[in-house]
Amino acid sequence: MSDLKETQISSKRIFSGKLIDLYFDQVELPDGKTSTREWINHPGAVCLIPILSNGDICLIRQFRYGPQEEFIEIPAGTLDDGEDPLNCAKRELEEETGYQANKLTFLTNIHPAIGFSNEKMWMYLAEDLVVTKNNLDHDEFLEPIPTPLNTALKWVWSGKITDVKTVIGILWADRLKHNS
């Protein structure tokens, strides 16, 4: 198997925002030639599969500015600087759904945009939920949508759900349901 690693020659930050930084890098390719790469530095995030007491998944519906559409998603949120992913998962679950989980299980890491970002997401299964109160960020507007798993699966396969973390989360929920 050949080495496919690209080596950074130089890097220039061309934008720095509240959440992300955009870089333009010169790289040496595996064959010794050079090229450029544009990539986004992201702090990481968590996503959750909240299972309600009746077995439904607590999905959310929200508008996403980039694609200018409403999406059906699993709850998720960005890590604060230095924040532990488990603590972020607890915070985001309550903020977005109004539930706390008595049982949070780490499932996997996913990389949702490997072509242009280093973002890494920690996916958790949230079970034994207790109602608290949602506490959305001041610029966050969403609607919880409790959904039977079979309906969520139909939405994945029909293309109604296209958000990658949500597709993966629903497929994990289905796998876990059939393996329990």
Average pLDDT over residues 23-46: 97
Average pLDDT over residues 103-119: 97
Are 69 and 113 members of one domain? yes
In this prediction, residue 20 carries a pLDDT of 97
The parent domain of residue 26 ranges over 7-41
Inform me whether the pLDDT recorded for 46 exceeds 80: yes
Are 13 and 62 members of one domain? no
Average pLDDT over residues 140-162: 96
Are 71 and 129 members of one domain? yes
Residues known to be catalytic: 140
Tokens of 95: 């903020």
In this prediction, residue 1 carries a pLDDT of 67
Are 128 and 170 members of one domain? yes
Report which of 154, 174, 145 is spatially closest to residue 58, judged by C-alpha positions: 145
Are 27 and 61 members of one domain? no
In a domain, 83, yes or no: yes
Inform me whether the pLDDT recorded for 114 exceeds 70: yes
In this prediction, residue 136 carries a pLDDT of 73
In this prediction, residue 137 carries a pLDDT of 76
Average pLDDT over residues 16-29: 97
Per-residue confidence at 7, pLDDT binned at 50, 70, 90? very high
**Secondary structure, 3-state, the chain:** CCCCCCEEEEEEEEEECCCCEEEEEEEECCCCCEEEEEEEECCCEEEEEEECCCCCEEEEEEEECCCCEEEEECCEEECCCCCCHHHHHHHHHHHHHCEEEEEEEEEEEECCCCCCECCCEEEEEEEEEEECCCCCCCCCCEEEEEECHHHHHHHHHHCCCCCHHHHHHHHHHHHHHHHC
What mean pLDDT is reported for the chain?
A: 95
Are 50 and 28 members of one domain? no
Give me the percent of the chain exceeding a pLDDT of 90.
Answer: 92
Are 19 and 60 members of one domain? no
Are 97 and 149 members of one domain? yes
47-57: pLDDT as tens digits? 999 999 999 99
Are 77 and 121 members of one domain? yes
In a domain, 77, yes or no: yes
In this prediction, residue 133 carries a pLDDT of 78
Number of domains in the chain: 2
67-103: pLDDT as tens digits? 999 999 999 999 999 999 999 999 999 999 999 999 9
Domain of 127: which CATH number? 3.90.79.10
Are 162 and 98 members of one domain? yes
